């Protein structure tokens, strides 16, 4: 191969290979045979003495769809920061499966092990098509053009088709991401996470700013993802949380205030007091 473009991509593949090898965690090794897929045990996060999380314990089962609610400042985002390695616990432990100690893993290691996170603001590539965004999400090399020019395997193309169908963007595959509606951008970003086939998806306020119709489609999407993935959703929109109607955890001042079905936690006097006192 003397063609310089082909040479370039050969180097690219070496880069991918090295990047994959530098992650000590091999995908698919998450052991959930004896317990939850994700658990925080008495996790405290102190910022200059202020406890954003205060001995928080939380267990999420494999395939579960869990909603986390709670007033502003309750510690919801900080909890996700601990699960993704962005913030280290001051004390306590955080495990992925039985064996992976999240407090000892870097953010890329945790992502590679199968915990994907979506932040509130969509971070799609606006000047690329929906298809290209999904193509980019499949690759570990984050350089845009070398990745887009590299050929996809048949399996990767199948995967992109599958994801397009799951997030309902088949008809929009050739549109620029920047031209999508707000809701479609959010689904695309969820699709970009799904392309990497994570075991756990963390979604921070996924329906903020969506129309009613978009919210309803997102309810269907998240319901369809549960089972094959564990999904943890932080959301302020109570109608949405009610529509998902699974186990709900209420955080307050860095701790679990209540946990149960939505109707149970809504009837809990401590929960009512916290929300009315906002």
Query: 29-68 mask for ligand ATP (x: CB under 6 A)?
Result: ------------------x--x-x----------------
Residue choice 2, 3, 6, 72 for contact with ligand ATP (CB under 6 A): 72
Burial class (CB in 10 A: 0-12, 13-18, 19+), 56: buried
Maximum distance among all Cα pairs of the chain, rounded to whole angstroms = 73
Answer for which of 77, 84, 184, 266 binds ligand ATP (CB under 6 A) is: 77
**Interface residues for ligand ATP in 78-117 (CB under 6 A)?**
78
At 145 the three-state DSSP class reads: helix
Site for ligand ATP contains 212 (CB under 6 A) = no
The b-or-e profile of 16-39 (16+ CB within 10 A means b, else e) is: eeeeeeebebeeeebebeeebbbb
Strands 65-69 and 91-96: unpaired
Q: Which of 36, 75, 114, 183 binds ligand ATP (CB under 6 A)?
A: 75
Residues 72-91 close enough to bind Mg ion by CB under 5 A: 76-77
Shortest Cβ distance from residue 76 to ligand ATP (Å)?
3
Residue identified by tokens 């965004």 is: 133
Question: 215-239 burial by CB neighbour count: b if 16+ within 10 A, else e?
Answer: bebbbebbeebbeebbbbbbbebee
Residues numbered 175 to 234 that lie near Mg ion (CB under 5 A) are none
Secondary structure class of 97 (helix, strand, coil) = coil
What minimum distance in Å lies between the beta carbon of 236 and ligand ATP?
Answer: 6
The piece of 76-84, 128-136, 138-146, 258-266 that touches ligand ATP (CB under 6 A) is 76-84
Binding status of residue 241 toward ligand ATP by CB under 6 A: no
d(CA 246, CA 252): 19
Applying CB under 5 A, the residues found at the interface with Mg ion are 76-77
Applying CB under 6 A, the residues found at the interface with ligand ATP are 47, 50, 52, 70, 72-78
């Amino acid at each position: 191969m003397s063609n310089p473009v082909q040479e370039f991509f050969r180097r690219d593949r070496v880069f991918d290979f090295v990047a994959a090898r530098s992650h000590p965690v091999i995908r698919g090794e998450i052991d959930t045979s004896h317990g939850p897929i994700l658990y925080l045990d008495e996790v405290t996060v102190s910022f200059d003495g202020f406890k954003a999380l205060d001995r928080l314990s939380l267990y999420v089962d494999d395939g579960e769809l869990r909603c986390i609610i709670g007033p502003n400042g309750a510690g919801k985002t900080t909890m996700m920061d601990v699960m993704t390695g962005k913030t280290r616990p001051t004390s306590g432990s955080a495990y992925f499966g039985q064996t992976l100690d999240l407090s000892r893993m870097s953010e890329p290691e945790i992502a590679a092990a199968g915990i994907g996170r979506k932040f509130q603001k969509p971070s799609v590539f606006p000047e690329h098509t929906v298809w290209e965004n999904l193509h980019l999400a499949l690759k570990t090399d984050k350089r845009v053009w070398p990745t887009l020019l590299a050929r996809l395997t048949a399996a990767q193309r199948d995967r992109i088709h599958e994801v397009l169908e799951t997030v309902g963007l088949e008809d929009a595959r050739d549109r620029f991401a920047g031209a999508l509606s707000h809701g479609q951008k959010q689904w695309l970003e969820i699709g970009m996470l799904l392309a990497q086939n994570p075991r756990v998806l963390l979604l921070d306020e996924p329906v903020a700013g969506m129309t009613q119709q978009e919210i309803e489609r997102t309810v269907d999407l998240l319901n369809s993802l549960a089972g094959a993935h564990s999904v943890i959703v932080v959301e302020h929109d109570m109608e949405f949380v009610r529509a998902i109607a699974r186990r709900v955890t209420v955080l307050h001042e860095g701790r679990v205030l209540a946990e149960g079905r939505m109707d149970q936690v809504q009837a809990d006097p401590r929960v009512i007091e916290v929300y009315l006192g906002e």
